[in-house]
Structure 1
Amino acid sequence: MSFATLLTQEQVERIHEASLEILEEVGLKVRYEPARELFRKHGCSVDGERVRFPREVTEKYRKMVPSSFTFHARDPKFDKTIPQDSPVIITASSAPDIIDPVTGHERRAESGDIARIAHLINELPGYDVFSISTLADDAPADQFTVSRLYPSMKYCLKPLRVTTTNMKDTLSVMEMAYMVAGGRDAYMERPFLTHHYCPVVSPLTMDHLSTENVMFFAEQGLPVYPTIVPNAGLTSPMSMAGTLAQGNAEFLSGLLLMQMVKEGTPTIYATLGTVADMRTGAYTSGGIECGMLHMAFAQLAHFYDVPCGGYIGLTNSKVNDAQAGYETGMSAIGGLLSGMDMFNIGGLIDALKTFDFAKAVIDDEVALMMKRMKRGVHFNDDELGLPLIKEIGPGGSFITAKHTISRMKTEAVMTKIADRDARTIWEKKGALDIHARAMKKARDVMSTNTAPLISAEVDAKLREKFPGLVAGDLTPIA
């Protein structure tokens, strides 16, 4: 399949060369001492916290990355490998707030909300991976991440994407995962958690805790990947070309870290590049420039033969309105056409700060449309249908033809949220707008197939192992 391009091949190669120059002459501030030692051992120049990467070192190790990445699930039928299975649709994650599905007012998210969301994502067909959508304000101080992971595993069998804080947090998360899997060995055979971090903080700084976690999971041979997040005008140059050069250098530094830990470690060229609104400094994840940067980063990923994706299809809108729709759709389709494999797209509004159930349901339908577009046009003699066209002839009808009947449910997306009825029929059904229809769908999902996906025996062991663990129960939306 051919992809749309924003950059010429010459421009892609120039950005690559610029990134090599940045890494060699400017380098990164690396705060984590074991990472500095790892870089030194593999031929990099280390001066205090500053690490510089010789061109030949970068070129050697960046070629070691596999060309695919697999998201494993507790149920193998949900496994996804990119780029083969792209587009893989993942929820956007870690919002502190939620639009309460009963009152419609914004509030802090809690672990019970995660249970609801996990079940919703498990049931909606457009989503492939659940990246835990919100934080949990009710989490005990020493159980920050397990309070999010527990309700996620309790109600979702699809691959889970998680982020931990420090190493103590990481080990607690892994202990919980081992228990659910039936032991460490069983988990290692099917590692259903994919770990995600932002070890490189723009501009050009490798932090401590995220870097430690990336090194830990790469060494263990468990799925992990980093995301780079340059923000033009604030943490990268106020130009797309400069932001691409710096962001690409930051990606390469993370790639080198992982390959130096363990050669052949899979990763994803994952991005959330933005151009700041310099009138206020606003974080413009809904801007068209966010989509354009993702398109360009996808070209760079193809240049390196690495699967790619990122946070795209986002919105700055505070409500689930037309702005939310066009900001989501425009950048998402740009990313799809440019060959992105993974999309963190579902459910968040207000520049990643708030989860909205209706938005998640609508984004599921957007995801199904994206998957349909990726399938493209099937092209053979039967699809071309020349004998049928000749048989029906001028003025005829194709509606009863076997050719039509056999394709009526597969050739086009059968939308359930987007309304296509005549106005009179729409009015008879209550004249509901798309937000109301999506909330009705969310409520319907919340009332069916809501049994926990962890056995009572395992659940009891988890609660014994983690005293004070949140209830993590799913309460249907009234």
Structure 2
Amino acid sequence: MQYNRFFTDDQVKRIHEASLELLENVGVLVHNDKARAIYGKIGCSVDVQSGMVKFPSQVVEKARQSFVPTYTFTAQNPKFDKVLPNDGPIVVTGSSAPNIIDPKTGEERRATSDDIANIAYLINELPGFDVFSISTLAEDAPPGQFSISRFYPALKNCKKPVRSNTPNMKDLEQVLELGELIAGSKEAYMARPFINHHYCPMVAPLTMDVESTEAVIYLVERGLPVYGTIVPNAGLTSPMSLAATVTLGNAEFLALATLIQSIRPGAPMIYAVLSTVADMRTGNYAPGAIETGMLQMGHTEMANYYNIPSGGYIGLTNSHLNDAQSGYETGMNTTGALLAGASLFNMGGLLGSLMAFDFGKAVTDSEIAMNLKRMKRGMEFSEENLCLDLIAKVGPGGSYMSEKHTVKKMRTTAVLPNVATREMRGRWESEGRTDYQTRAMREADRILSQENPAKFSAELDAKIRGHFPNLVAGDAKWDL
């Protein structure tokens, strides 16, 4: 597939060189002691008092030599395993929103573990999604079980790869214990680690935090799947320049990548980003802006230069409703990123700048995802697909409607949406003049009203609940 580009080869190389200059001359403020020690061992200049780390270019270039071109999302059910970029576009839900749009009242409220269970089941059944990044927090989490109250209902109701993060090491260890219980043993889990971890250890501009960095180090040392996202925000945490934001973000990616590769050379990574431009009229966060898509495209060009998978939080919206704004923000930015070569899309289900999950939006995004996957397949050029014999057979003025070739190809050549309407106006009116959100919620209701095929066996569930007393129920229950 020929990718669209903003930068020439020389400009890409210059951004790389400029990133090295930033790392060597400006450096990164590293708050984590272990990270500073690792950087010091590989030849970086570390100021212990200030926490500043400066990176000689040869140190970064050595780390680059061990970059690998693929990243695997492992699932509880192996048939759902996905490899970047080969299986791309891989579509992931947006994650960690505090709120949900209540499916009964339409009002925004705090999300609970029951909501996570329902969302997990929905994502397991929606064909556009490949990975469930746990969409919300759980307001009802018992004390000391903040993360387990998210991962348990997610893993209990979704057999696709599950991905999220934890706020501290105690929570991370709990989540890994859960994975080992589900797998049957620590050895079985290590052979197929189906919990996928994601953190944002880089805090723009050019700062590395404590807890997320600690988790990344811990997971990389053990050979468990983890990757990080960089999040510069032009006008606030990076210059009000798209090229500068790509460069600053690229330097942050290289700093994190150098840490990971120094711990375990050849550790799989994703060049994942959520680079944005602040709306300087208010300072508001604008992940739905077209510049977010453009920045993702620019970062993807850098990832292509490094020959590693790319993507991130792309296809988000600032809209508080599943409406026209939501549709064009998600559609335009994901299409641009796909055409630039991105293969990972955290795009599903969230409204209001990542603050609230909506079931109708998730159904919508599944249909957008199916269109993206179709676009990635392309025209599939071949002599057979030119159909010259068939064109000659039908001839001028004929019809292809009844041809066997049409019947054979009609379900694979075109995306056939379940929710978008293609009816004539008269039929649409006779069926109630429904808008897209109404039809999307009907589709969510149809899916979630059926028997859940993904739930744990009674024996496994009893074992987990015995290990974690007072655990949330974690059951998908739907009564719209």
TM-score higher than 0.5? yes
Query: Are 1:3 and 2:3 counterparts?
Result: yes
Unmatched segments (≥5 aa) in structure 2: none
Contact 1:101 1:477 in 2 (8 A): no
Aligned to 1:39: 39
Contact 1:63 1:304 in 2 (8 A): no
Alpha-carbon distance, 1:394 to partner: 1.4
Alpha-carbon distance, 1:451 to partner: 5.2
Q: Deviations over 1:261-288 (max 9, x none)?
A: 1111000000000000001001000000
Q: Structure 1's 226 and 320: CA in aligned 2 closer, same or farther, altered over 3 A?
A: same
Aligned to 1:347: 349
Query: Are 1:458 and 2:460 counterparts?
Result: yes
Q: 2:398 aligns with which of 377, 396, 399?
A: 396
Aligned to 1:181: 183
Q: 1:413 aligns with which of 397, 412, 415?
A: 415
Aligned to 2:22: 22
Query: Are 1:427 and 2:429 counterparts?
Result: yes
Q: 1:125 aligns with which of 98, 105, 127?
A: 127
Alpha-carbon distance, 1:9 to partner: 1.5
Query: Are 1:219 and 2:217 counterparts?
Result: no
**Partner Cα separation in structure 2 for residue 429 and residue 220 of structure 1:** 56
**Partner Cα separation in structure 2 for residue 301 and residue 115 of structure 1:** 35
Equivalent position amino acid for 2:235 in 1: G
Aligned to 1:247: 249
**Partner Cα separation in structure 2 for residue 289 and residue 362 of structure 1:** 22
Q: 2:91 aligns with which of 79, 89, 92?
A: 89
Aligned to 1:147: 149
Equivalent position amino acid for 2:45 in 1: S
Correspondence list, 1:300-319, <5 A: 300-319=302-321
Contact 1:230 1:236 in 2 (8 A): yes
Contact 2:159 2:454 in 1 (8 A): no
**Partner Cα separation in structure 1 for residue 388 and residue 452 of structure 2:** 49
Q: SS in structure 1 opposite 2:29?
A: strand
Query: Are 1:109 and 2:111 counterparts?
Result: yes
Equivalent position amino acid for 1:163 in 2: N
**Partner Cα separation in structure 2 for residue 254 and residue 394 of structure 1:** 62
**Partner Cα separation in structure 2 for residue 351 and residue 162 of structure 1:** 18
Equivalent position amino acid for 2:259 in 1: L
**Partner Cα separation in structure 1 for residue 454 and residue 308 of structure 2:** 37
Alpha-carbon distance, 1:452 to partner: 5.5
Alpha-carbon distance, 1:462 to partner: 1.5
Bigger CA drift: 149-158 or 446-455?
446-455
Aligned to 2:259: 257
**Partner Cα separation in structure 1 for residue 403 and residue 465 of structure 2:** 59
**Partner Cα separation in structure 2 for residue 133 and residue 357 of structure 1:** 11
Equivalent position amino acid for 1:247 in 2: G
State TM-score, norm by structure 2: 0.99
Q: SS in structure 2 opposite 1:316?
A: coil
Aligned to 2:60: 58
Q: Structure 1's 139 and 40: CA in aligned 2 closer, same or farther, altered over 3 A?
A: same
**Partner Cα separation in structure 2 for residue 154 and residue 243 of structure 1:** 40
What's the Cα RMSD here?
Answer: 0.8
Equivalent position amino acid for 2:143 in 1: A
**Partner Cα separation in structure 2 for residue 435 and residue 185 of structure 1:** 45
**Partner Cα separation in structure 2 for residue 452 and residue 422 of structure 1:** 38
**Partner Cα separation in structure 1 for residue 479 and residue 109 of structure 2:** 16
**Partner Cα separation in structure 1 for residue 477 and residue 105 of structure 2:** 15
**Partner Cα separation in structure 1 for residue 414 and residue 119 of structure 2:** 28
Alpha-carbon distance, 1:477 to partner: 3.3
Aligned to 1:72: 74
Percentage of identical aligned residues:
55
State TM-score, norm by structure 1: 0.99
**Partner Cα separation in structure 2 for residue 457 and residue 255 of structure 1:** 41
Equivalent position amino acid for 1:305 in 2: N
Equivalent position amino acid for 1:21 in 2: E
Equivalent position amino acid for 1:79 in 2: D
Equivalent position amino acid for 1:252 in 2: L
**Partner Cα separation in structure 2 for residue 239 and residue 395 of structure 1:** 55
Equivalent position amino acid for 1:205 in 2: T
**Partner Cα separation in structure 1 for residue 284 and residue 40 of structure 2:** 38
**Partner Cα separation in structure 2 for residue 166 and residue 100 of structure 1:** 29
**Partner Cα separation in structure 1 for residue 437 and residue 133 of structure 2:** 23
Contact 1:95 1:353 in 2 (8 A): yes
**Partner Cα separation in structure 2 for residue 351 and residue 173 of structure 1:** 27
Q: Structure 1's 451 and 82: CA in aligned 2 closer, same or farther, altered over 3 A?
A: closer
Q: 2:294 aligns with which of 292, 317, 321?
A: 292
Runs (4+) off by over 4 Å: none
Alpha-carbon distance, 1:453 to partner: 2.0
Equivalent position amino acid for 1:41 in 2: K
Alpha-carbon distance, 1:449 to partner: 2.5
Bigger CA drift: 309-318 or 461-470?
461-470
Alpha-carbon distance, 1:2 to partner: 1.2
Equivalent position amino acid for 1:336 in 2: L
Alpha-carbon distance, 1:141 to partner: 2.5
- Alignment size in residue pairs: 478
**Partner Cα separation in structure 1 for residue 454 and residue 421 of structure 2:** 33
Query: Are 1:385 and 2:387 counterparts?
Result: yes
Equivalent position amino acid for 1:84 in 2: N
Bigger CA drift: 138-147 or 424-433?
424-433
Q: SS in structure 1 opposite 2:409?
A: coil
Q: Structure 1's 452 and 300: CA in aligned 2 closer, same or farther, altered over 3 A?
A: closer
Equivalent position amino acid for 2:379 in 1: V
**Partner Cα separation in structure 1 for residue 165 and residue 388 of structure 2:** 54
